[in-house]
Structure 1
Amino acid sequence: MHNYTELGREAIAAVFRNIGAFPTPLSAAVTHDTATADGTRYISISTVWSQVDHTKAARLCFSQSWTLLCDHKGVLQCLPPSPCTHSNRELLSSYSTSGSYRAIVSQGSGHQYLEVWSSGGLKTSLDLTALNVHGSVYEDATFACLAWAACEGRLLYVAEKLPGKSEPSGPSSSSSARADGAPGEEFNDKSVYVEDWGEGLTGRSSSVLCVADLGKGDVTVLKGVPPHVSPAQALWTPKDEGVVFVGWWEEPFRLGLKFCSNRRSGLFHLDLQGNCELLSADSVSVSCPRLSPDGRWLVYLQGRVFGPHSQCLSLQQCDWQTKRTSVLLDVVKRPKTGEFAGIYEALPSHCWSSDSQRIIFSSARGNYKDLFVLDRRTKRVTLVSDNSEFGFWKLLLVHKDLLVVSCSAPSRPPRLRVGFLPPVGGEVGMSWVTLNDPSLTFDLEWKALELNPSPQEENLQFSGLCIGALLVRQVAHGSGRQPLVVFIHGGPHSHFCAEWIPSVAALARLGYAVLMVNYRGSTGFGQDGILSLIGNIGSQDVKDVQRAVLHALQDDITLDPQRVMVMGGSHGGFLACHLVGQYPDFYKACAARNPVINAATLVGTSDIVDWRYCSVGLEYSFDQLPTPEALSLMLQISPITHAAQIRAPVLLMLGAKDRRVSPHQGLELYRALKSRGSPIRLLWYVEDGHSLGRVETQADCFINIVLWFQQPLQQR
């Protein structure tokens, strides 16, 4: 199937189901670490995986365990894994420090439960809903935690605050009046608007820190959290004397929080007497506090408030004895070729070496996601991953210098690898053992590209930046040219790395070559690259994608320049629509998921309204009101201004519950093209939000994209 072949819906669906069936590792924990008299260690690793079941249109979770036989140098043998165990009812899980207990937050029949399991079976079960101390437990990474106290008798987690009686704004209740003038009536607050944290966090408004006492069988809400913040990502301090948590500022109003590392927040210390202190600056964005094994050092990520909603972050270090904070790893403005490019994502929950001197983490680096070791004393960063086999390395766990990572490549589905961190200075050339090895029944090939903008397209303020791209295809055995699908990421401040992406592999299996473009502004290329796009959206990024496409076509004569299609979601959809408008004779078809079409009309409907101003180079403040000049700038950068030039068939896929990019954005383009008789089709997903992430929606989108792309190819 290396050459393009016209296929029907069922054949396309079969390819997508087959390739989407590979499971993905989500987390890992060590449950047992036992040493024998001769120094040999038996280490048991429990892992949680996600897998799509297309029959049930569901995303399933399961657990699987491995036992490793190790010595002081490394892994000697890996015993066969345990059978997989279904774990779909679990929202959160966490092993105690000793590995003797496993805590689970689960749900069923409308209730949430906290269960603690040991080798002897169920030890504790609390009906959290029936206790009625708090609302639903948070399970998303933005807020969630399930932290064991060192004594293994208490658990710390985050939940929604129980709604209380709303206080009226304005006159006191004794002199208040109803809208109809009748005095002395209480306000009816059932219809009062309650803010939440936006796309992907609907219904999440105000959080509380909760402690479950397993001996007493009760739950308490910790007092002393400042009333203007929502606590998140909490952990116990040394000796269980208090907690450290991230507090997201709620005032003056909430902005969308998911995928945004630029929201005002602070790092707080709360003792068990209710005394709270701010450890970080109060005008920054912080996340991911991680305490060293010896309890001496606390590290966390820090970034700017407002501006790009994803950015290069600094790593801060707090001396827990003195509470003095310093910069451990600064923002990387302009990395040299092949070198560390900065931190752009969350730290794993366990990231410290056993001697409390090194921090291990994953981060984007150009077209890759790599694994790094930072020496806390020398501040030296060492690359320990190898891109010859895998372009994606994600750290899941560090346990007494045993690293558990998930690795993949565009041609290789995810697998687990383990290895021991060598002594300081010996990190390069780590030895790895693969625990599972899924194989494909067909061959894919890929390569990473880096190119420079043309002299006319250079950004004079940030000159010398490069454009990245990845080309994925099935290994060709024939002489025909392949159609090319240009795939553009959203964000815009995110990136494509050389990882396993089922939809890309499925397109390659169906005979398409896929070019994934990291235009200037993508993460993994330094902060200068991110800042270069501010005020240049709709121009610099559009030209970068087109430059990458022309480069790929010139570099590889097996790609067909007469059969080029484009697709993307969110900002990627924005760029896809720009490309078919600005280069109307070049692209043969376009597929856009929840695209930004008119930034001027989006400014009042998006949950991240600040980005609408930042994107055109304007500063944002909470009391900002749109001006004619600002709206004019937003309109000028928008694809809607090129709608009259669009000739390629356009497929729109919209989520009716999208709060980041209103579905009415896509409807604007639909009506503009419909009125001109341009080929347009719109798919409307009633239950989906911005990500279009439901299993059946993802499958339906893929099938319709392929069918849409086939139509212009049939006409040649």
Structure 2
Amino acid sequence: MSKNQVDENTAAAQRTDKIYKELSSLPIYTSAQFLSQDFLRVKTAVNDNDRKLKIHGSRTYVLHEEIITSSFTPETSEVVASVTSPSGERTAIFREVADSTAKDGKKRYVEIWSNDSLLAQAEVSKIHGAFYTDEILSLVSFSPSEDALVYCAEHNADDKDSSDSFAKYRFTPVLGEGYRNRKRSRIYHFRWNSQQQSQHVVVLNTASTAEIPLITQPIFAGDSTVYAVGYAYSPEHRLLGVKYCPNRLATIVVYNLPTKRDQFPEEGELMCTGGPKDLKPPANDGNSLSYRCPRIIYNAKGQPETLIWIANAVGGPHASCSTLHSMTLRGGEQKVVVDIVDDPKDDEFPGLYTTTLPVQPFLQVGQHRYLVANSIWRSRGVVVITSLRNGTVRKLTPDNDTDINYSWNVLATDGGDQVVCSRSAPMKPHELVLGRLDASGQVSWRVLAQPSLSDEVKKGLDGLISTIIPIDGRYPTETIIVRSKQAAVGRKACALPCITSLHGGPHGANTTAFNASLATFALDGYAVSLPNYTGSVGFGNKYVKKLLGAIGQLDVDDCMASVQQLVEMKIATTGPGKQFITGGSHGGFLTGHLIGQFPHFFSAAILRNPVIALGEISTSDIPDWYYEESGIAFKPETILTPEIFKTLYQMSPIAYVDNVQIPVLLLLGEIDERVSPTQAKGYYHALKARGQDVEMLCFSEDGHPLESVEAQLISFQSSRDLFSKWVKRN
């Protein structure tokens, strides 16, 4: 390579680095809370690529009819979470302070603030471990009287029976992916009396914690009742991984708290009488539902009236169509508000696909109450609105933006007629949008915040176009295409080198939400294709189940058909240096299959924490996945027989390793508990042994998603370098 070529390549890399860093450093809206009808607090996260860390902050908006003002406050590293009470008058701060004298190097405090005054404070370092703050296990709830709250934290390790001389050696199943070295979550009740200047923290516990070891997502229903989610052990004493898996043995439990203050212990443990009582005991019998996300509806008098929750089938595919349920708290009447949708028509509601509900999901206009939630509707993320009176479901978000194809995410409601969302598109970074519902149930939107972009990047993004293309003869498969407008229309229209990016799951989805790395590739002259193959959520439950037992064939053929159709449509081109492929987890599984089954089609491939050999499932927190997706029922007594191993091997990418002929880059999170790192390492050594061009980058502090700022940056740069090395642009 000549010096001029080296200089050109270096300049090109510097240019794409600059674009990626700008795009990946734009704020992401993570949550929001209405402090009143006129005041809104929105939390954000920003990647600092230079310091390789994520910066969190909050912006408070003052909402008026014509004018919107806001102010930004960065959060300190000591504050791990903060929540404002429903009245807006009190704020709970959860603080972790470095202290070398503490057992784990940190002291922890719960603080209650009223405006600028510290109303109550409790040091909880000896009561429990780290606070839980993620959306799966965590929820902070104020009591209606706002003199108590419940939250989740790690139960101390010294809670084992001191009379058991082998206690510290006894096996306890771990929590799985995303919770490495984390301890069991328990619910803690913090109450205070500002007049008496007293405060107490107790753990809510029950005698049945041996059967329900993980208690999460607490929420008050009145001052003396708390609902929560309890995860159960399976019969073989597994606590299967819960992250991204709404099909676990989980139920809603209820705690009845003492009604008098003197019935609470001073500190430590509160054994709630009669609880928890299962709303419906979970069982891995093929008929049970996994319950999560309890939410409470209060009546006009401020009394708890109805319990709302969502559910998925226990076992089977790890993600599927969810159902929405309700129960009257006085009479105990239960009903299904939104049921499974099996096989919708193209323009019909395809079912509810969501992992969680907003903390405040309710809207009310007049006497009509609604629930809003995120969902996947084909290849877009949408906000759906459900009438709690008759169960009708429709999109809250508009359909008239097909030239942009926004995906939406609901952040919060004010309990009245206002809802705040974020939205983005392949060429539109995240915006903050406020909606207001009218008496007819229609919503009007206005933009509260847009990203600040350099002129160069803004012009580049304005020059991109996205379309959603159905794949002929392979319903419901479709793919999202992002490319330059210049290549799409006009005299300079042309086919481009193509990067196909495959989602994991397999019951996940590619949506039209903004992605910094993929947008950068589109700006660099590639057509980017994001297929949704059979098994992707958002198309009806029938197509989720259709993939079970057909992985490695049906999904592979769908993806290959999408690539070939783009070539036929002259969107992409084929030949040396024209086709590239990337995917993580099950997307890595598909990538391994495609480069093995079609060895001459692609020019380079990138696999992130891929599933390579289905039969090698040791250390995975979801061993059931490997069986169920392969069409083999996973039962408590299931073991890996030679016959089962043969079936799994034949469905795996490793069966095609001898065919691989192109450069491969593996990106590996070394603390991945979902897909064992041995999968990628075994593939690396197998390719090396066959003389193939393979490299592997390892991230010692990353798990399955490779979501650290450093891992995201290095993953983009190494992918860019590999594709640039082999691409031919004419």
TM-score norm. by structure 2 comes to: 0.88
Superposition deviation, residue 700 in structure 1: 0.6
The residue number in structure 2 matching 1:27 is 31
Deviates more, 1:12-21 or 1:543-552: 12-21
Unaligned runs of 5+ in 2: 1-7, 99-105, 259-271, 284-288
The answer on whether the counterparts of 1:263 and 1:285 sit within 8 Å (CA) in structure 2 is yes
Matched residue, 2:321: 312
The equivalent position to 1:554 in structure 2, one of 553, 568, 573, is 568
Give the residue type in structure 1 aligned to 2:43.
V
Corresponding letter in the other structure for 1:431: S
How far off its partner does 1:247 sit? 0.4
Superimposed CA distance per residue, residues 655-681 of structure 1 (whole angstroms, 9 cap, x where no aligned partner): 111111111111221122111111111
Deviation at 1:365, TM superposition (A): 0.4
Distance 1:193 1:356, change over 3 A: farther
Q: In 1, distance between residues paired with 2:571 and 2:129? A: 59
Query: Equivalent residue for 1:247?
Result: 230
1:456-471 correspondence to structure 2 within 5 Å: 465-471=475-481
Q: CA deviation at 1:165?
A: 5.7
Structure 2 vs 1, CA of residues 314 and 281 (structure 1 numbering), >3 Å: closer, same or farther?
farther
Q: Displacement of 1:98 after TM fit? A: 0.9
Question: Is 2:87 the partner of 1:98?
Answer: yes
Q: Which moved more, 1:76-85 or 1:408-417?
A: 76-85
Aligned counterparts, 1:295-306, within 5 A: 295-306=304-315
Structure 1 residues 449, 211: CA separation in 2 closer, same or farther (over 3 Å shift)?
A: same
Equivalent residue number for residue 707 of structure 1 = 721
Select 2:108's aligned residue among 98, 112, 120: 112
Give 1:281 shift: 4.6
1:475 to 485, 495, 517: 485
User: Is 1:203 paired with 2:218?
Assistant: no
Please state how far the C-alpha of 1:201 moved relative to its aligned partner: 1.3
How far did residue 561 of structure 1 move? Answer: 5.4
Q: Distance in 2 between matches of 1:558 and 1:268?
A: 53
Q: What are the within-5 Å matches in structure 2 for residues 264-663 of structure 1?
A: 264-273=249-258, 274=272, 275-276=274-275, 277-283=277-283, 284-294=289-299, 295-345=304-354, 346-354=356-364, 355=367, 357-387=369-399, 388=401, 389-399=404-414, 400-423=416-439, 426-428=440-442, 430-438=443-451, 439=453, 440-442=458-460, 443=462, 444-453=464-473, 465-476=475-486, 478=492, 481-557=495-571, 559=573, 562=576, 563-601=578-616, 603-663=617-677
Question: What is the deviation of 1:356?
Answer: 6.6
- The aligned length equals 664
Helix, strand or coil: the match of 2:684? Answer: helix
Distance apart, 1:605 and its partner CA? 2.6
The 3-state SS of whatever aligns with 1:634 is helix
Greater relative contact order, per chain length (Cα 8 Å cut-off, separation 6+): 1
Alignment correspondent of 2:268: none
**Equivalent residue for 1:181?**
none
Question: 218-227 vs 291-300, which deviates more?
Answer: 218-227
Residues 125 and 55 of structure 1: is their aligned pair in 2 closer, same or farther, counting only changes over 3 Å? Answer: farther
2:269 aligns with none
Where does residue 220 of structure 2 map in the other structure? 236
Q: Cα gap change, 1:368/1:561 in structure 2, threshold over 3 Å: closer, same or farther? A: farther
- CA drift of 1:433 comes to 0.9
Q: Distance in 1 between matches of 2:681 and 2:74?
A: 44
How far the C-alpha of 1:547 sits from its partner, in A, is: 0.6
1:127 and 2:123 correspond: yes
**What is the deviation of 1:88?**
4.2
Question: Is the 1:246–1:265 Cα contact (8 Å) retained in structure 2?
Answer: yes
**1:325: Cα distance to partner?**
1.4
> What RMSD in Å do the two structures reach over aligned CA positions?
2.0
> Aligned runs of 1:81-92 on 2, under 5 Å?
81-92=70-81
Residues 485-521 of structure 1 show CA distances to partners (whole Å, capped at 9, x for unaligned) of 0000011110011111111111112221110011000
The residue aligned with 2:101 is none
The offset of 1:206, in angstroms, is 2.4
2:144 to 144, 147, 150: 150
Cα drift, residue 62 of structure 1 = 0.8
User: Aligned residue for 1:37?
Assistant: none
Give ranges in structure 1 of 5+ residues lacking alignment: 34-42, 70-75, 174-185, 455-464
| Native 8 Å contact 1:369 1:498 kept in 2 | yes
Counterpart residue type for residue 656 of structure 1: E
1:11 to 1:225, Cα distance in 2 relative to 1, 3 A: farther
Superposed CA deviations along residues 242-297 of structure 1, whole A, max 9, x for unmatched, are 10111010352211111001100111111014222212353321111111132222
- Residue 260 (1) aligns with residue 241 (2): no
Partner of 1:55: 50
Structure 2 CA distance, aligned partners of 1:515 and 1:689? 26
Post-superposition offset of 1:709 = 1.0
The 3 A distance-change label for structure 1 pair 303 and 32 is closer
Q: Is the 8 A contact 2:28 2:44 kept in 1?
A: yes
1:638 and 1:334 mapped to 2: Cα distance?
Answer: 29
Q: Identity of paired residues, percent? A: 28
| One-letter amino acid of the counterpart of residue 240, structure 2 | L
User: Contact 1:94 / 1:103 at 8 angstroms: preserved in 2?
Assistant: yes
Q: Superposition pairs for residues 214-229 of structure 1, below 5 Å?
A: 214-215=192-193, 216-224=198-206, 226-227=208-209, 228-229=211-212
**Residues 527 and 571 in structure 2, CA contact (< 8 A), matched pair in contact too:** no
Q: Report the 3-state secondary structure (helix = DSSP H, G, I; strand = E; otherwise coil) of the residue aligned with 1:431.
A: strand
Secondary structure of residue in 1 paired with 2:444 = coil
Relative to 1, partners in 2 of residues 1:384 and 1:452: Cα closer, same or farther, differing over 3 Å? Answer: same
Is contact 2:244-2:318 (8 Å) kept?
A: yes
Moved more, 119-128 or 330-339: 119-128
Change over 3 Å in CA distance of 1:280–1:532 after alignment to 2: same
- Is 2:728 aligned against 1:677? no
Q: What is the distance in 2 between the residues matched to 1:528 and 1:386?
A: 26
CA distance in 2, matches of 1:28, 1:225: 36
Report how far residue 107 of structure 1 moved. 1.7
CA contact (8 A) 1:308 1:493 kept: yes
Structure 1 CA distance, aligned partners of 2:114 and 2:321?
41
Q: Is the 8 A contact 2:57 2:72 kept in 1?
A: no
Deviations for 1:291-340, whole angstroms, at most 9, x for unmatched residues? 11322221111111111111111111111111221111101111211221
For residue 194 of structure 1, what is the aligned residue in structure 2?
Answer: 172
1:546-567: per-residue Cα shift (whole Å, max 9, x none)?
0111112222346455501000
Inter-partner Cα distance in structure 1 for 2:684 and 2:76: 42
Q: Is the counterpart of residue 14 in structure 1 residue 18 in structure 2?
A: yes
Change (3 A) 1:165 1:101: closer
Q: What residue number does 1:45 align with?
A: 40
Q: Which residue of structure 1 lines up, in the alignment, with residue 61 of structure 2?
A: 66
Amino acid at match of 1:65: T
Change over 3 Å in CA distance of 1:6–1:302 after alignment to 2: same
Q: TM-score, normalised by structure 1?
A: 0.89
**How far does residue 470 in structure 1 lie from its aligned partner after superposition?**
0.4
Q: Which residue identity does 1:218 align to in structure 2?
A: H
Per-residue CA shift, 1:196-247, capped at 9, x if unaligned?
A: 2101012334222111112222201123363121211110013x12101110
**Range 635-644 or range 133-142, more displaced:** 133-142
Q: For 1:74-85, what aligned pairs fall within 5 Å after superposition? A: 76-85=65-74
